[in-house]
Chain A
Amino acid sequence: GENVEQHPSTLSVQEGDSAVIKCTYSDSASNYFPWYKQELGKRPQLIIDIRSNVGEKKDQRIAVTLNKTAKHFSLHITETQPEDSAVYFCAEGAYGNNRLAFGKGNQVVVIP
Chain B
Amino acid sequence: DVKVTQSSRYLVKRTGEKVFLECVQDMDHENMFWYRQDPGLGLRLIYFSYDVKMKEKGDIPEGYSVSREKKERFSLILESASTNQTSMYLCASSTTGYEKLFFGSGTQLSVL
Contact = CB atoms under 8 A, between A and B. Distances in A.
A79 to B, nearest CB: 26
Given A49-B100, A99-B48, 17 more contacts: A1-B41, A1-B44, A36-B101, A42-B105, A43-B90, A43-B105, A44-B90, A45-B103, A89-B42, A89-B43, A93-B99, A98-B56, A98-B97, A100-B101, A102-B42, A103-B42, A104-B41
Interface string B70-112: 0000000000000000000010000001111111111000000
Chain A contact residues, majority secondary structure: strand
Interface of B: 35, 40-45, 48, 50, 56, 58-59, 90, 97-106
A1 B99 contact: no
A23 to B, nearest CB: 11
**Interface size grouping (class) on chain A:** 20 to 34
A43 to B, nearest CB: 4
B103 A32 contact: no
B103 A44 contact: yes
A1 B105 contact: no
B98 A105 contact: no
Interface in A41-55: 42-46, 49
A43 B106 contact: yes
Contact of A93 (B35, B41, B98): B98
The listed residue with most A CB atoms (<10 A of its CB), out of B45, B56, B58, B98, is B98
Contact of B98 (A44, A89, A100, A103): A100
